[in-house]
Structure 1
């Protein structure tokens, strides 16, 4: 696993042109918006008029997301995606040419019309931006690819804001001409690079587009709610935008009033924004390493916890006014306690990356390709609503006299409550987090063949040797999809643990002599799970190994396959092998007393190996032989 790097994608044509196009788009949007602010200062507009623009401009930009996202999602579903990206970047050239005329004429009405058109162009590009990734990336590359995109977006937004803000300062009297030239040149560059993106087939070429915005918006929102995990991942992404909007909108005032930034200077604000953006980019890039190249939604609770922890510490680091004012960046860094604030801003960003990247990857991995663009259109509609809500919350907090640190404190508490609510609705997030933490604390896990052989969607039976009490946890941490584990009912019924097993939707089973009725219910539950397209894992040995070897596989797996075949829906069987767990404290290698000792090796190496799926009427003997082959000589 360590031999792979997400940065290798930046050397490949299937990803690099797309990455550059989306980064240039984000960069140009922010250059344009900041250049408009620069023009207002250039024209000597009063502070009241600038404040009016600060309210009107974001509303003008975001209105198209509400009106046209559903239509944009359908268009992105129907058309070949590379062609659509070229169309949208061509639109950007036209729109930025109109904006350039606005700069040259110094016409705010014309610039606001172009700003609305920019929002429209972004609305059309939005569903393509994320729906194209599953088509050009392998399943094991989704997390790394999304991490690169989030990193690129964060840095591009920051760079665009800085560049747009500097245009009028650097160009002086020629500021309008410089702004006009910059935005048109960036748009042309994006269009030229878009033509280098390889062809990406349409998700639903036969889709009939509905042009009425309201019913189509409701339709895509209903589509996005079909799967609970996807629905709540979308809710999580929208909360990320709410969280980020409040943070970034408060930073200008926070930098001046609480960090001591010089009045009229944006240097300290830009520094604070840079720390948050760099942190988000860093966290996004770290997701692939931490997830071992799977869609690891266990990082989401970790991200939520870190966001609240660092935001809470930011409140306590400077709850009141700055003790010294009129500072530049160097002056602030020289003040006592400044390092703590720097670490907090970076930490908030890092854990924000942990929070959002797996959510994007989850949406992409669990959504059918024929619905992908429309689901992301629904995401954009919901995101827009949360951004507007965040702006209203910021205004309301100001009217109540809340300081930025007080709002940060409230946001940290709200983040805990929202995260807890999401995890309660879909316990899979929390269960993945627990398995991710436990397995990576106890073991150094290596996974081979899972991304290649476990299907990304649809039903399958997973069979594996049974070595220790940790087997299900290790497998759950290795397989990116949810797995329904079949387990012995006496273990399933252990008090307290039973709640965990029920939350994980394990299937309890008993022997035919112990409880025939329960055994029958187990087979019925397995059949129903496979009919729903889920993964079911069984340990055909029926018990933990007592000598480190593999016991004879029982015939239960044949009965499962016979039922699915008789129903006309045969499923593949994926053989898997666990290696290295026999030496752990959780196996039967030692007596009960021996198992209570500390492990022989701290973070022992454990390996999960998956083989190619077997189809048809597969015998228990054939599966046993295949698992033995995968395990080799390692127990």
Structure 2
């Protein structure tokens, strides 16, 4: 029995793992169902659709900027399992709000004045929920798992999250919106019931007074966390990874449509392969490291990711030499000789990315002080969110000045080089600090 299958059979890990699966699945089922319904069934204007998507993205990420510091303090100074149960109970209420908005929009009742504001309110609250659960899902692992199990647990959480995101995203595109409204309520109830089985995880250090000044607390949190060289480089490397991921996800749909002349189903296939690849990389890196938390393979992994990005770019450029005049469906796309090369290069990007980022998350929870692990994850979330927004703005700016979307892939490849440098700096800091003691 492997370490991964061993801990999956234990109550100290399985309820947390399943709770996270339901949470990621439900978030993405709701977000995707909402955006697809509004874009395809409510608005008929490209600028209005773009504005709605931008507002929705901003509302979801805003809580990570505002509340991550408070979330980290709570997770380190209160019982983590109790916080999980409280947040999951609140999820039932916020999904009722979202479901009401979806139902009103489906029925065509007060769409602009009530339905859309309700859906956006629920989306914002979903971001708040994710903000408070984010630090816990990694910081709780060292309390419930043995040292040699932490990397395997981190990989399973990361892989399971991607699979759940994938399932929620695909299902939202296939079922009617009224089914989605019922589904998010049912999933939130089941998720709460599972969360009640998570074993207690009391604070591991001195319980201090919470700082409710969110701006001061956020600045102090990042400043106090980044003084450790290992944590500093791990957070920067993770942030650059998510910046690359954000840019790639922005590029996939227009690249599929305008460069590859493929349908939206093909763009969805790209996202599916990317999510599955990250899941594969997340689990496989544990086999290479044999349970040891180390950044040893991170530089090579992100270099490989950059190589696959360049290969993806070259294939896309060669694809443009084909005389394709109409948008192709999935079957027509897969019939072209280079289709398999495109999908394999994309899979390589994702697997290498998963192998790069998972040990870095394990670094944050094992190299930080036990009583500060959640705050370290919260600081990471603040920096990650800022980096993802910056990457998105850069991609938008390049599109605005007329840079071809295929050429923008080279930006992602260049960022992989910088991420490799950060990974190497982290590994040197790891060697200087010596092995982690129990």
Separation (CA, whole Å) in 2 of partners of 1:61 and 1:234:
21
Deviation at 1:400, TM superposition (A): 2.1
Q: Give the whole-Å Cα distance in 1 for the aligned partners of 2:2 and 2:33.
A: 41
Assess if the C-alpha contact under 8 Å between 2:296 and 2:427 holds in 1: no
Specify the alignment match of 1:378 in structure 2. 379
The 5-angstrom pairing of residues 175-190 of structure 1 reads: 175=177, 177-190=178-191
- Structure 1 counterpart SS, 2:117: helix
RMSD: 1.9
Q: 2:294: which partner in 1?
A: 296
Q: TM-score, normalised by structure 1?
A: 0.65
1:129 matched to 2:129? The reply is no
Asked whether the 8 Å contact 2:237–2:422 carries over to 1, the reply is no
1:346 counterpart residue number: 347
Shift of 1:424: 4.1
Aligned match for 2:434, one of 457, 470, 482: 482
In structure 1, what is the Cα distance between the partners aligned to 2:270 and 2:321? 15
Q: Is the Cα contact below 8 Å between 2:81 and 2:200 reproduced in 1? A: yes
Greater percentage in helix: 2
Residue 421 of structure 1 deviates from its aligned partner by 4.6
- Displacement of 1:42 in angstroms is 2.6
Say if 2:365 and 2:377, in contact at 8 Å, map to a contact too.
no
- In structure 1, distance between residues paired with 2:206 and 2:76: 7
Does residue 1:314 correspond to 2:312, yes or no? yes
Q: Is the partner of 2:370 in helix, strand or coil?
A: coil
Q: Mapping of 1:491-570 within 5 angstroms?
A: none
Task: Spell out, residue by residue over 1:96-126, the C-alpha distance to the aligned partner (whole angstroms, 9 max, x if none).
Answer: 1111111122210111111111111111111
Q: How does 1:267-416 map to 2 (within 5 A)?
A: 267-319=265-317, 321=320, 323=322, 324=324, 325-416=326-417
Deviation >6 Å, runs of 4+ = none
The structural deviation recorded for 1:342 is 1.1
Q: Distance in 2 between matches of 1:418 and 1:348?
A: 14
Q: Secondary structure of 2:369's match?
A: coil
Q: Deviations over 1:69-110 (max 9, x none)?
A: 101111111111111100010111111111111112221011
Asked if the contact 2:302–2:419 (Cα under 8 Å) also holds between the matched residues in 1, the reply is no
Question: 1:127-165: per-residue Cα shift (whole Å, max 9, x none)?
Answer: 111111111111111111111111111111111111112
1:212 aligns with 2:210: no
Separation in structure 2 between the aligned mates of residue 143 and residue 404 of structure 1, nearest angstrom: 36
Q: Name the structure 1 match of 2:62.
A: 63
Q: Paired residues, what number?
A: 425
Give the superposition deviation at 1:45.
3.9
1:358 Cα deviation after fit? 0.7
Q: Is the 8 A contact 2:77 2:206 kept in 1?
A: yes
Q: Normalized per residue, which structure has more strand? A: 1
Residue 262 of structure 2 corresponds to residue 261 of structure 1 = yes
| TM score, norm. by length of structure 2 | 0.93
| 3-state SS of paired residue (2:175) | helix
Deviation at 1:244, TM superposition (A): 0.9
Q: How many angstroms apart in 2 are the aligned matches of 1:51 and 1:352? A: 29
Shift of residue 293 of structure 1?
1.4
Task: Kindly indicate whether the alpha-carbon contact (under 8 Å) linking 1:230 and 1:362 is maintained by their aligned counterparts in 2.
Answer: yes
Tell me how far 1:306 sits from its aligned partner: 0.9
Aligned to 2:109: none
Counterpart in 1 of 2:36? 38
CA distance in 2, matches of 1:424, 1:25: 34
Q: In structure 2, how many angstroms separate the alpha carbons of the residues matched to 1:261 and 1:251?
A: 11
Q: Distance in 1 between matches of 2:422 and 2:67?
A: 30
Native 8 Å contact 1:314 1:405 kept in 2 = no
Number of the residue aligned with 2:161:
153
How far residue 399 of structure 1 moved from its aligned partner, in angstroms, is 1.0
The answer on whether the counterparts of 1:317 and 1:341 sit within 8 Å (CA) in structure 2 is: yes
Q: Check conservation: 2:365, 2:373, Cα contact below 8 A.
A: yes
Structure 2, unaligned runs of 5 or more: 106-114
- Residue deviations 1:211-243, cap 9 Å, x none? 001111111112211210111101111111111
Shift of 1:307: 0.7
| Unpaired runs of at least 5, structure 1 | 169-174, 433-480, 484-533, 536-612, 614-635
- Of residues 367-376 and 397-406 in structure 1, the stretch that sits farther from structure 2 once superposed is 397-406
CA distance in 1, matches of 2:33, 2:89: 21
Larger Rg: 1
Change (3 A) 1:299 1:424: closer
Aligned to 1:79: 78
CA distance in 1, matches of 2:63, 2:204: 23
Aligned to 1:446: none
Alpha-carbon shift at residue 205 of structure 1 (Å): 5.5
Map 1:553-632; keep pairs closer than 5 Å: none
